[in-house]
Amino acid sequence: MRVKGPRTLPPLPALAEVRVSDSNRAPLLDRTMAFSLSGQSPAAAPVYSAPGSPAISIADLVGNLSFYDSDEENSSPQASSSRTATSRPRDAKAPAKSPQDCVICTDPIRGSQIRAPCGHYYDATCLGELFRGASVDESLFPPRCCNQQFVVQEVRRFLGEKLYQSFQTKALEFGTANRVYCHQPSCSAFLGAATPTPVAFYCTECHTNTCGQCKQNSHGSRPCETERDREVLALAEQEGWRRCPGCSHLVELAHGCYHMTCRCRKQFCYLCGADWKTCGCPQWEENRLLNAAAVRVERQNPRAANPLNVDFGRLVREEAERLRTNHDCQHQYWRYRSGGGRCESCSFMLPMYLFRCAGCQMLACNRCRRNRL
């Protein structure tokens, strides 16, 4: 038995010499290359082809291949076989995106993904709860996220007709500045806007009449009795309360500056009642300023409030100086804080976590920082 050495193959023809447009030379060169690789003579080797099908050249095979970029934006992260990759059409649609997380409950949204004006996403349940809450709690009205209001007509189909009609009724009430409610404490239905003269408002709920001027039991054309109002105002003056010029509700300043924002969203000066930044009243009273500074220091570092801590007074004074120049916090930046606590806006007790305002150190729940503050 003789062992043959390696066969020397003839050099391959240069690819540059093959012109794709030359339909006669390309198949001939392909055939010659195949014969050379097999060690056969081009004249002796038979040519096999399927009956009725033309011969396929290497150039034809290369022309039928499909090429894909590995860094396509919508490419799937899962690996696929070469057969699947070759047969996959180039213009195939990108796979469906993963569901967004609801900004309120933080769960993946399985149904409709409702985008708020600020860019956050809500599921239908949390959006409905927001509109339901805004129909009861005026501090949530108008429904908003990150201080940007929802367009009611754009989200109407996610609310349901019953909730939508209920919200529209409350929107009419909350949009009225000086309101008249039924004088019966057990009813207190909204009746309309106050009038400058005695006008009887009929309540369809309890079937009584209320005066549109004094907001007490209707008394016909007789002048209104204001003795009760004088008593209430005297008590308010004694306690240091002020009446909102927008909705006439009484408000109390616990701590902070004299810039008041009522639940009706009216902003006014606590000292004189004028619209904010239209008067010459001072913005702070020194004792209230120090109290507000102490609250902020304690929010930021509860241990610093220890009476034995000699640095507490220094920290309060430093914070008070910062408040003199930058006291009106807009609550733009929040930090996650693990551990439970009471929300300083809605007073609910949260067991797991709260958010701390980076400016005033206020602690608030997720719903309040998004929808109320």
139-173: per-residue pLDDT in tens? 899 999 999 999 999 999 999 999 999 999 999 99
Q: How confident is the model at residue 133, as a pLDDT?
A: 94
CA distance 302 to 312: 10
Which residues of the chain, if any, have pLDDT below 70? 1-98, 225-229, 254-256, 301-310, 327
**The pairing of beta strand 259-261 with beta strand 250-251:** unpaired
Structure tokens at 80: 């696929």
d(CA 24, CA 15): 15
- Judge whether 371 and 140 are in contact, CB under 8 Å: yes
Strand locations in 64-141, DSSP E?
A: 114-115, 121-122
Q: Name 194's bridge partners.
A: none
Q: Which residues contact 298 (CB under 8 A, 6 or more apart)?
A: 304, 305
Residues in the chain: 373
Q: How far apart are CA 179 and CA 316, in angstroms?
A: 42
pLDDT number for residue 142: 93
Q: For residue 49, what are the contacts with CB-CB under 8 A and spacing of at least 6? A: 55
Asked if the bond preceding 10 is cis, omega within 30° of 0, the reply is no
Q: How far apart are CA 110 and CA 123, in angstroms?
A: 8
The structure tokens listed for 309 are 């801590």
Kindly state the tokens that stand for 122. Answer: 């809500």
Looking at residue 344, what is its pLDDT?
A: 86
**pLDDT attached to residue 69:** 37
For the chain, domain boundaries: 13-42, 114-174, 176-225, 284-328, 331-373
In the DSSP assignment, the letter for residue 114 is E
What percentage of the chain's residues is helix, strand, coil (to nearest 5)? 30, 15, 55
Q: How many CB atoms lie within 10 A of CB 294?
A: 19
